Amino acid sequence: MRGVWCLAVVGLLIAPVTVRPAGAAEAEPVAKVSKTYTMEAAAVKPAEPAKPAEAPKPPDPSTLPWTERPNICPPLVWGCEGEWKLQLGGSIMTRFEKRRNLDLNKAVDDDDDLTFLRTFVNLDLSYRKLTRVFVEFVDSQATGWRLDPLQNDRWDVFQAFVELKAREDSPWTLRLGRQALPVVSEGRQWGRPPLEYYWFNLLPVFDGVMLDYKTKTAEVHTFLLKPLTSRHIDEDTGIVYSDTLYRVSDAWHYGIYSQFKNLAPHTYDLYVLGFSDHGDDRDFPPGSRDEDGTFDNEDRISIGTCWRGPIKKWEGCGTLGYGFEAAYQFGHIGDDRINAYMLHGDINYEWEHPWKPKVTLLANWASGDNRVGDNEINTFSPYYGASHYGYGTMDLFRLTNLRELAITGSVSPTTSVKVLLEAHQFWLDSESDAWNTAIGTTFGRNAAGDWAREAGTEFDITLYYKPNKRWAFELGAAHFIPGEAARDRGRDDSANFVFLQTVFSF
């Protein structure tokens, strides 16, 4: 009996069991077949492709330490979809300069210990990516000087413009109002490199219109701008001083500046820049002078190109790169024809090393006026390009009537520290043209052209320290040894320069 029960239990475990209502026809045993078919199909079904991993989202700025946020104050956001945003920002720059004999003449007691202080405060209001209103105020001061550097402008409107787009994804942006030039390329004739942005208290600024076109491979700026100046003259004493910005009457700056990356890793710039000044009867600032020294109307066009990229890369060793720029200027001042040019070239090598050591050999050549009285002006004008960048820390030269050879070397022991060493050799391109400095002084002109070309040698060292996004520090020193061209002008004494600069961004 026990054996019969055991067999019955085993039969129940191994036999298919179907439950159906009474009187119903016996169903075909498809459940088992279907189950078997489904399992076989699952076994041969190809696996679905894996979904690509989502890119990590950038961290919420509000969760970052205050030293790493884009701005200290979080933006004020409102609207049904957060389409409105208002951001407060700015920076405070302080720089101490010890200038010793920058006029290369010890007989004149004009050594200066200067302090520059400049504050930017801006409000940036945007609606989606369609409209933007930007207003920036500047307060700049210079103290401790004997020779006024003309860098004062107390709480003035530095920028105030509106940006408009037809749609959010449009590459076109129209900017109307008071605006500074954008950061582009090398900034030798137009725009500004990043370093130039915070060196001088007062930067070139304009009233006008700019149409920007920007994609991943192209950036084009078309503009019509009216230059502003902060320099005034006391009509009673004739002393020049700096104060509130105002428009320079009868002067215009216009053109197209474009930068392309479609040949990556190479980039190239193409530009046509114009400058017109018909203020020959303007009291101040003075207009352009012709070959005879008479104030007259100026119309000048500059066409040029700039290229930069790698030449060859050695894996595990380093990269050899190059830079090149050339420009030609034509036009007239009165009846005198303009015929001027500039050239830049550099070769650089950067090692693949944690310290990122880099050495650059560079040359600059900007034409000077060949001969007085020939009704042809050969002096190259750098327009509103950088004047501190590339021609020595002491600002004794700018890109006009200049020949320069230089070698620079840099290392970055950490991500926040960089050391830069520079050696510059300067000549004047023309013996008969003036030696003009970047800080506004002129070391004289010999119309006879019988003075030497060699201007002198400068050695610079600069230490950069940027511990976070809020703070940036620079400490530098320079020494200049005058050449024959300086001695011919009665300026045969060496000069020294030391500075310490801090920038706090908020």
Domains of the chain: 68-505 (2.40.160.100)
Q: What share of the chain is helix, strand, coil (3-state, %, to 5)?
A: 10, 50, 45
| 291: three-class secondary structure by DSSP | coil
Instruction: Quickly count: other Cβ atoms within 10 Å of residue 310's Cβ.
Output: 13
Which among 455, 444, 404, 450 has a CA at the least distance from the CA of 431?
450
Q: Position of tokens 């000549």?
A: 427
- The DSSP symbol for 53 reads P
| Cα 305 to Cα 444: distance, rounded to the nearest angstrom | 32
- pLDDT at residue 11 greater than cutoff 60: no
User: What's the pLDDT tens digit per position in 24-60?
Assistant: 444 444 444 444 444 444 445 555 555 555 656 666 6
Q: Residue 11 is inside which H or E element, if any? A: helix 2-14
List 406's β-bridge partners, or say none. 362, 424
Give the mean pLDDT of 295-314. Answer: 96
| Cα 253 to Cα 182: distance, rounded to the nearest angstrom | 14
| Cα 287 to Cα 457: distance, rounded to the nearest angstrom | 33
| 398: three-class secondary structure by DSSP | coil
Average model confidence (pLDDT) for the chain?
87
Q: Is the pTM of this model over 0.85?
A: no
Is 448 or 85 the better-scoring residue by pLDDT?
Answer: 85
Q: What pLDDT is stored for residue 85 in this prediction?
A: 97
User: What's the pLDDT tens digit per position in 423-455?
Assistant: 999 999 999 898 988 887 888 888 777 788 999
User: What's the pLDDT tens digit per position in 111-139?
Assistant: 899 999 999 999 999 999 999 999 999 99
Pair 87, 124: CB distance under 8 Å: yes
CA distances from 306 to 363, 427, 475 (A): 14, 23, 31
